[in-house]
Structure 1
């Protein structure tokens, strides 16, 4: 099974912690954030992981190496400038399988088991949604059964996209090279009924500020 960790962001909201250290290498519970991901991926049966790199990316490569410490094969997708989520995934496609692959934001923490879903041939994406945190009360998408919908389509509460999801390479067909966001692609696929999802009621945290990093560190220790 193949997975990608998004690790190219500058981490502006985490400054000054990220002035000299890339956000995925900030520690909580005695280990870098990205190591928590690698441990969970290995436990879930993933063996091949792609990591995109931009800001201070050489530190991530030096720290993780080829991944054998965790029983993984790690490959890197360097970006001279951060390509945003969509552009970063698109550039890394040659390193990923033709089957659906998992993508995880490098700045989230969750106890989701990362078990791959069974996707129909027409499904281009499967998203993990979580309860809305206090810093994002409006949420992102609506979940109606297994279908994920744009927020205005049905009168059910919005949930927050966790930054974890499985994607088919076909989702990125006909997209341009360079930087572009992922959300518009997902919304277009939702309009075609090609996005499914699940609600994860367990632990999840968007580690976007020093305060949230400290809270996670305290909880883990």
Structure 2
């Protein structure tokens, strides 16, 4: 199974850190955020990784190279203009092949065991969900009996962690250009084709200076 790391965001809420450094290369504990993912993927038995990028993306390629230093083979999908999540994945599909692949947001910090993703996919997607963080209390989806559905008002909800397994067939009928992933997932949910799990371990959406500092504190406590 191949893995894709989404790394095309500008990281505007992390300015001024991201004015001259792409968000995935912002450091926590002295290590670029994206390297924690690469280490986790390698430990989980992955060998091939695709990374998309846009803002200051050449820095990502120069820093990570072909992945040999991490025991991985890395290929890149460069976006002239940001294609949003769906469009970015769709552009990278020729690099990912025709089998299900793991997908990981580049701007999260987690101890989720990526080896759990290396299992047969039933349906079009499998999502890892987490308890709603303080900054996203409304949540995204509902989970019952291993199936993910769109959350309805008054129904318990969970937040999409940015970790998933997707089938290329999820993108059937899509056209090149910028588009979001969520509508494709909701369409598949309506057909009962999205499974899921709740993860209760460490997970932080590193979108602000405050949450980056939270990661730093966790790393310091673990030393």
What TM-score do you get using the length of structure 2 for normalisation? 0.95
- Once residues 133 and 164 of structure 1 are traced to their aligned partners in structure 2, the CA distance between those partners, rounded to angstroms, is 16
Q: Distance in 2 between matches of 1:218 and 1:199?
A: 24
Match of 1:172 in 2: 171
Q: Which runs of 5+ in 2 are unaligned?
A: none
Residue 132 in 1 paired to residue 132 in 2? yes
Preserved contact between residue 27 and residue 217 of structure 1 (Cα < 8 Å): no
Q: Which residue of 1 aligns with 2:66?
A: 66
Question: Counterparts of 1:1-221 in structure 2 under 5 Å?
Answer: 1-114=1-114, 115-116=116-117, 117-120=119-122, 123-152=123-152, 156-221=155-220
Q: Separation in 1 of the partners of 2:97 and 2:152?
A: 34
C-alpha deviation, 1:98, in angstroms: 1.5
**Contact 2:10 2:18 (8 Å CA) reproduced:** yes
Distance 2:177 2:121 in 1: 28
Distance 1:127 1:3 in 2: 14
Between Structure 1 and Structure 2, the one with more helix by share is: 2
After superposition, the CA RMSD in angstroms is 1.1
Looking at structure 1, the residues matched to 97 and 148 of structure 2 have their Cα atoms a distance apart, in angstroms, of: 24
Structure 1: distance between partners of 2:213 and 2:22: 16
1:118 Cα deviation (Å)?
2.7
Q: 1:97 Cα deviation (Å)?
A: 2.6
Q: Once the two structures are superposed, what CA deviation does each residue of 1:192-211 show, in whole Å capped at 9, x if it has no partner?
A: 00000000011100000011
